[in-house]
Structure 1
Amino acid sequence: MRYLISLLSSLFLFLSCNDSKENNLTHEKTKQIQDSVFTTISKNWSFVFPKTNPEIENVLSSWKEWHQFQNELEQKPKTSLLAFQMKIENVSNRSDSLYLSIPERFNNPQVRSRMITLSTQLNSLNTYMHVQDIPQKKVNQLIKTVNEEINSVYRQMEEVVIKERIPMEIGEENMIRALDTTRLANAKSFEENLLKTDSVDNNTGNKLLPPRKRQLPKKPLPSQLKSE
């Protein structure tokens, strides 16, 4: 009986050791995969906000939500894969409402559309960063796409500034002066035509008047002649 108990105990210990070894191997393999993913993502994790003209920089510096979003995205995690996952989740949440706080000067459909697209790409990146087996190629591609969308936002803002400058650059004052001259010429021509029309009407009216009959002196009556 003691022999049987000893045999069972040995078997249990053997199986436990095997399970422990397998768990350790699985854990080690998982850690190696995570380290590889962390190294790859850390190498490619770079988000660039381009330099732009002072007018746009001035507006962006007073846009609190954008400033916080930029700071959050530019701070690169350094410790673990979990740190990257927490970072992208925070950034994604911030981007969701950016289009609601766009400064008035740039608050047009084009800029809002680019903001929403940027948020969509960040949400996709957040999704892929939280799957069990993180697809490294897809994540790296999305990082590039996010950078492209950031540049698109800036380009749309630059277009707003360019469009604001166009009228003055092509000579807005000269255009207005030319339009005023055209209006005056048209008004003068209209007045001249109106005067000609009045003159023709007057001449035509005079021709249509019936000629006056010449009044002949009245002959005296016979009674008047007798009296004389």
Structure 2
Amino acid sequence: MKFKISLFLLLVFVLQSCQDENAKRLAEQQKVAKKNEKIFNNINKAWTFIDEPINEAAEKNVSTWNEWREFLKEIGEKPRRTIGAFQKKSKAISKKALALNNNIPAELNQPAIKSRISILITKVKMMELFINLSTVPDDKVTFLIGEINKEIISLERQMDKIVEKAKIPKEQGEEDFLRMLDTTRAIPNAKVDPNLSIN
């Protein structure tokens, strides 16, 4: 009889502890859900990219440079509903940003443009990294969205500078002078043989 009573009490204790554990787990899940909702709302509010060209040069390149057009189209589409949608979108934006290195128009294929593209790719990759962490640092993601916008503006302004500079007519002989300044075309320093004498 004592055995049955102790077994009954043990069973009641186990059931009570299971209910307490379920309540704790449910409270923890609600806390995580609220935190994720706050993160989602912060990222959703900040997710606005400059997807329209800001000058004539950038607008012209939208029609002629396929990779640039695809990149602007990708950042212009805003994901909805979940953090997972933002994660997929950031991955897609990252792929389009990497493609910017391909088929750069001849007039823009310059170090100033390439360096700005590299910086843009780096910031997009950083955003993708942060948004795919298990605990998303929404403050860093929102900061990087602003930085990506700055880099897009910088790239478009550089495009405009290059186009405007190309419109300036060159003076007679300027091409030859610029070629002479090019150190890659210079004659390499040759070692002089000390046994040779000039008479």
Q: Structure 2-normalised TM-score?
A: 0.78
Higher helix share: 1
Query: Which SS does the other structure have where 1:100 is aligned?
Result: coil
Query: Which SS does the other structure have where 2:101 is aligned?
Result: helix
**Is residue 55–residue 157 contact of structure 2 (8 Å, CA) maintained in 1?**
no
**Shift of residue 137 of structure 1?**
2.1
**Shift of residue 3 of structure 1?**
2.2
Size of the aligned set, in residue pairs, is: 169
Residue number among 44, 47, 53 corresponding to 2:46 in the alignment: 44
Question: Matches of 1:16 and 1:154 in 2, distance apart?
Answer: 61
Decide which moves more: 55-64 or 134-143: 55-64
Q: Deviations over 1:172-211 (max 9, x none)?
A: 6xx55xxxxxxxxxxxxxxxxxxxxxxxxxxxxxxxxxxx
Residue number among 147, 161, 164 corresponding to 2:163 in the alignment: 161
Aligned to 1:76: 78
What are the within-5 Å matches in structure 2 for residues 66-215 of structure 1?
66-167=68-169, 176=172
| Letter paired with 2:54 | K
Aligned to 2:196: none
Question: Matches of 1:164 and 1:106 in 2, distance apart?
Answer: 10
**Shift of residue 93 of structure 1?**
2.3
Query: Which SS does the other structure have where 1:48 is aligned?
Result: coil
| Letter paired with 2:109 | N
Q: Percent identity?
A: 29
The verdict on how the C-alpha distance between 1:82 and 1:15 changes in structure 2, with shifts beyond 3 A counting, is same
| Letter paired with 1:43 | K
Unaligned runs of 5+ in 2: 173-199
Question: Matches of 1:59 and 1:76 in 2, distance apart?
Answer: 23
Question: Matches of 1:149 and 1:2 in 2, distance apart?
Answer: 75
Question: Matches of 1:12 and 1:69 in 2, distance apart?
Answer: 58
The verdict on how the C-alpha distance between 1:32 and 1:5 changes in structure 2, with shifts beyond 3 A counting, is same
Unaligned runs of 5+ in 1: 177-228
**Shift of residue 74 of structure 1?**
1.1
**Shift of residue 42 of structure 1?**
0.8
| Letter paired with 1:137 | D
- What RMSD in Å do the two structures reach over aligned CA positions? 1.6
Q: Deviations over 1:114-156 (max 9, x none)?
A: 0110000011111111223322222221111000000011011
Question: Matches of 2:135 and 2:124 in 1, distance apart?
Answer: 19
Moved over 4 A (4+): none
Q: Deviations over 1:3-55 (max 9, x none)?
A: 233222212211111111111111100000010011111111100133321x5
